[in-house]
Homo-oligomer: A and B are copies of this chain.
Amino acid sequence: MNLRYCEKNRVRGTTESKMTSLPISDVQAALAGLIGQANVYADPADKARYETGARYGDGKAALVVRPGSAAEVAAVVRYCVDTGTPLIAQGANTGLVAASTPDASGTQVVLSLERLRGEIAIDRANRTATVGAGVTLQELNDKLAEHGLCFPIDLGANPSLGGMIATNTGGSRLIRYGDVRHNLLGIEVVLADPPGQVLDLMSGLRKNNTGYDLKQFFVGVSGAGGIITRAVVQVHPLPRQTATALIVPTSQEAVLELLIALESEFGDFLTAYEGMSSSTVQSVIDHVPGVANPFAPEPIPDYCLLVELAATSSREVLGVDLQSALNDFLERQFDVLVANAVLDGGPDLWKIRHSISESIRHQGKLIAFDIAVPRSSMVDFQTTARRMLEADFPWLRLFDFGHWADGGTHFNIVWPHDATPAYDTDTVEKLRLAIYDLVVRQFGGSFSAEHGVGPYNERFYHRYASPEAQVLSGKIQQAIDPRHALGQVHFGPSPKP
């Protein structure tokens, strides 16, 4: 097999393309010389787990390489750029837009970050952690917990820190702690241009306004232009108290009113405000062992909200029990904004919320939408979208859940296995455009709230980003990486011929 740039990774713009065609064995030998034979996988069995994404992406890698340091990443990048060998960075491969997996061509080299670990260095006084890009969120949090700290990005997966930065993950507790971008103080990144240049931006500073904040250009762009090898993140004190409730609002309008009231009265503590429709809760109860209707003997309500408060202060220091304070608040809102509530459910309530994705798989074929609209448009969007589904796609079922506090919604639609008509991709594409058009064009929202942009959804980027934004994005991408050597997405105006 020979390696060559596939069309997708051809140089765009004004820089001259450098086309190479090296025997795979030469590439393998050269990379083994740079990072060691043991860290270059050519065997199909070894490569397999790097080739398929968590939701989309199912290709073939020419090789998988596992460099163990920024210097080794730099050597690999330099070699691959110089020889025109396409390279794809991969963290824990938990992403949902196929940004970290190879295409079907079998010509791409996957660069796994998993050996970029080193010691997790915790600076207690600075309240920061210095972390290798291959360290996972769980590993970081296990280590931080020993110091009473946490990195509070709450996700269903266990990604690597490098992947989290490349995706700018958000999660359920964004309203309290922000996304990865908000907690990122520094990165080390190996640039595509000059090839293999290590850019050290490993500041542990919270205040530093000295020109372009260069790390921003590598956050949330799915590996475009550089491979992140290390990071400094701000970490937070572990909460000492939490309070939870599963709340039935008195009306659809009460959902936002209750959020405003909670932020106004408990704004320091509100960490999650997650809405779930009845079909979603029912799906969990039906398919996940050990989960019962929390409202029994009442039926499952049309809509309910999982509220979580968290306080750094203990009950002893503050003199108040957070759950009692929340209960009192809900009591006062009874029959006003709150129709019913299950109090203090803690892990049991979160289990419902966290089991949604698992339960949906039993319902049929999932068509997932990771969208966001301004909070003030959440009700209108949901009403409009439901009506559109009922009118135009009546055989589909909706299992949505929403991060109301940050405007994000996982608008999960299922095509039941036994539905008529049978599943077909043309209809799915029509559905995608119908939902995204509504989100972006009617409600000023986002077609990718927290999953980022990868080969899977690049076409929607070109549909929805404004022409002016695409032009500027293309100029910037071209400036950072003129050969388009790193990152699978082209952010300039549509590359379609």
Contact = CB atoms under 8 A, between A and B. Distances in A.
A472 B214 contact: yes
Interface in A317-376: 317-320, 324-325, 328-329, 372-376
By Cβ-Cβ distance, the 5 closest A-B pairs, closest first, are A267-B312, A479-B479, A125-B376, A207-B449, A208-B446
Interface stretch (A22-30, A194-202, A280-288): A194-202
Given A200-B466, A210-B465, A260-B124, A268 B313 contact: yes
Given A264-B237, A372-B207, A479-B478, A181 B407 contact: no
Contact of A126 (B207, B407, B469): B407
Given A266-B312, A407-B126, A476-B479, A179 B207 contact: yes
Contacts of A461: 210-211
Given A127-B263, A199-B472, A210-B464, 16 more contacts: A125-B256, A126-B407, A148-B264, A170-B207, A204-B374, A205-B444, A206-B408, A212-B221, A212-B472, A213-B216, A214-B476, A237-B263, A263-B312, A265-B313, A265-B314, A313-B325
Contacts of A213: 168, 181, 216, 219-220
A406 interface: yes
Contacts of A205: 372-374, 407, 444-446, 449
Contacts of A406: 206-207
B214 A174 contact: no
A480 interface: yes
A62 B237 CA distance: 54
Contacts of A325: 313, 317-319
A208 B449 contact: yes
Nearest to A371: B207
> Contact size class for A?
35 or more
Given A207-B449, A311-B268, A317-B266, A476 B212 contact: yes
A269 interface: yes
- The oligomer's copy count stands at 2
Contact of A312 (B268, B473, B489): B268
Contacts of A151: none
Interface of A: 123-128, 148, 167-168, 170, 174-175, 178-179, 181-182, 191, 197-201, 203-214, 216-217, 219-221, 236-237, 256, 259-260, 263-269, 311-314, 317-320, 324-325, 328-329, 372-376, 403, 406-408, 444-453, 461, 464-466, 468-469, 472-473, 475-480, 489, 491
B446 A217 contact: no
B480 A199 contact: no
Contact of A206 (B317, B372, B480): B372
Contacts of A197: 468
